[in-house]
Amino acid sequence: LGIPSVPLKLADRRVSRKLQVGKVAVGGDAPVSVQSMTTTRTSDIGATLQQIAELTASGCEIVRVACPTQDDADALPVIAKKSQIPVIADIHFQPKYVYAAIDAGCAAVRVNPGNIKKFDDQVKQIAQAASAAGTPIRIGVNAGSLDKRLLEKYGKATPEALVESALWECSLFEEHGFRDIKISVKHNDPVVMVNAYRQLAAQCDYPLHLGVTEAGPAFQGTIKSAVAFGALLSEGIGDTIRVSLSAPPAEECKVGIQILESLGLRQRRLEIVSCPSCGRAQVDVYKLADEVSAGLDGMEVPLRVAVMGCVVNGPGEAREADLGVASGNGKGQIFVKGEVIKTVPESKIVETLIDEAMKIAEQMEKDGVLS
Ligand code: SF4
C-alpha cells in the first residue's frame, strides 16, 4: 500500500576467482553450479556414460568420476569426450592418474592431499602439466583422510585442521605460479563444515566447492546438506555444490537444485505450496498434493501451484500463486493469477489444475518467459 517493494536478497556473494571447468564457469559471478559423482565403475564406459546422461537430464552441471585403477584411467579419454557435461577425475593415492586425467582431457582433477603419498614432491610437475593443459585442480580435503601431520597437531579434524591442510597445498601450487584451484573442506558434521568454510572463505579468494561428506541416507543427508549449504550460501559463501547421499546420484542433483531454488540462487521452477493439513481440512491434502506434483513432474516453467485444504488460508495462498485450489465442501475453487476461474467437484481438482498449468506454461513459452 504505497510502500515500494525492495527485492529481498541474501548477503552479497563472496568475491572469488573465476575458473573454467570445461564449459562451466565456477567462482566470480558465475551461478552456483550443481555437481554429482557417478557410482559406476569408471572402466565400464557404457554404464558410466549412461549414468552421466541421466545426471545431465536431472540438471547436473558437472560430474565427477572415480579413478582408482589403470582401467579407469584408460576409460577417461572416451568418457571426457562423450560426456555432455564437464568431467572431473577424482584421484586418491596415485599421482600417476592425475597426469592420465589431464592427458585424457578431463575438465578438472580433484586431488586429496591427505592420501596421495609423496604428493607434495610432485606438485611442481602436476602444476606444470595442469597449467599446460588449462586444467584446474580441486584440492579436496576430507575429514576422513586428513593429513597425518595435521591430525597429530590438532588431535582431530577440526575446522582449523581442514583449512590448514587445504591452504598448505594451495601454497605449494602457488610456489609454481599455479592458481587455477578450487577448494573443498568436507566434514560429516555440518557445524564443523560450516565453520571450516567460513574460515577458508576469509583466508583466500579461491572458489569453494561445498559438501557435507558422508552425509548419510537420503533423508538425513538432504537435511544436513540443506542446513549447511543454506547457512553458507546465505552468507555468500560457495561457488559449486555437491550433495552427498547414500542414494542414486540423480537424487543428489535434485536436492542440490532445490536448495539453490529455495535460496533464490536460481530461478524457481515448479513449486508446490501445499498446506500440512489439519483438523479443518475438507479434502485429503496429501493425496491431492502428491497427485498434482506427479502430474506436473518434469515441468520446467517457473510456476507456483497452491494446494490448500480449506478456506482458512486457502484462498489467500491460492491467490498469491500462479495457480491454486482452495478446497471445501467437496469442491475446489480454482484460482489463476489471483482470480477464481471456476469451481469444480473434488474429483476434478487434479485434472483441472494440470490442464490449467499446461495452458499457463504454453502462454509463458509464447511470451518468451522461458527463453
Ligand atoms: Fe488446516 Fe486449512 Fe491451513 Fe490446510 S489450509 S493447514 S486445512 S487450516
Q: Does the annotation place 54 within a ligand binding site?
A: no
pLDDT at 7: 64
| Residue 202 to residue 209: CA distance in whole angstroms | 15
* pLDDT over threshold 90, residue 302: no
Taking a C-beta distance cutoff of 8 angstroms, is the pair 95, 122 a contact? yes
Across the chain, mean pLDDT equals 91
Distance 291 CA to ligand 1 centre (A): 18
Question: Cα–Cα distances in Å, from 317 out to 159, 228, 311, 321?
Answer: 43, 29, 10, 6
pLDDT at 371: 47
Task: For 160-185, write each residue's pLDDT tens digit.
Answer: 999 999 999 999 999 999 999 999 99
pLDDT at 5: 62
**How deeply is 362 buried, as exposed, middle or buried, from its count of CB atoms within 10 A (0-12, 13-18, 19+)?**
exposed
Task: For 237-295, write each residue's pLDDT tens digit.
Answer: 999 999 999 999 999 999 999 999 999 999 888 888 898 888 888 888 899 999 999 99
pLDDT at 86: 98
Radius of gyration of the chain (CA): 24
| Ligand 1 pocket list (CB less than 6 A) | 275-278, 280-281, 308-310, 312-314
| φ/ψ (deg, to 5) at 290 | -65, -45
Nearest atom in ligand 1 to 282's CA: 7
pLDDT at 370: 57
- Please tell me the total number of residues recorded for the chain in this structure: 371
| Residue 202 to residue 130: CA distance in whole angstroms | 26
Task: For 52-96, write each residue's pLDDT tens digit.
Answer: 999 999 999 999 999 999 999 999 999 999 999 999 999 987 889
pLDDT at 319: 79
Distance 80 CA to ligand 1 centre (A): 51
Distance 351 CA to ligand 1 centre (A): 22
Q: Does the annotation place 278 within a ligand binding site?
A: yes
Nearest atom in ligand 1 to 310's CA: 2
Q: Does the annotation place 310 within a ligand binding site?
A: yes
| Residue 360 to residue 371: CA distance in whole angstroms | 15
Average pLDDT, integer, range 139-159: 92
Taking a C-beta distance cutoff of 8 angstroms, is the pair 28, 52 a contact? no
Nearest atom in ligand 1 to 308's CA: 5
Task: For 195-228, write each residue's pLDDT tens digit.
Answer: 999 999 999 999 999 999 988 899 999 999 999 9
Nearest atom in ligand 1 to 317's CA: 5
pLDDT at 148: 87
* pLDDT over threshold 80, residue 142: yes
Distance 308 CA to ligand 1 centre (A): 7
9: helix, strand or coil: coil
pLDDT at 119: 66
| Residue 137 to residue 207: CA distance in whole angstroms | 11
* pLDDT over threshold 80, residue 29: yes
Q: Which three cell numbers stand for residue 47?
A: 554404464
Task: For 313-354, write each residue's pLDDT tens digit.
Answer: 877 887 788 999 988 888 899 999 888 899 999 999 999 999
267: helix, strand or coil: coil
| Residue 348 to residue 109: CA distance in whole angstroms | 53
Nearest CA to ligand 1 atom 8: 312
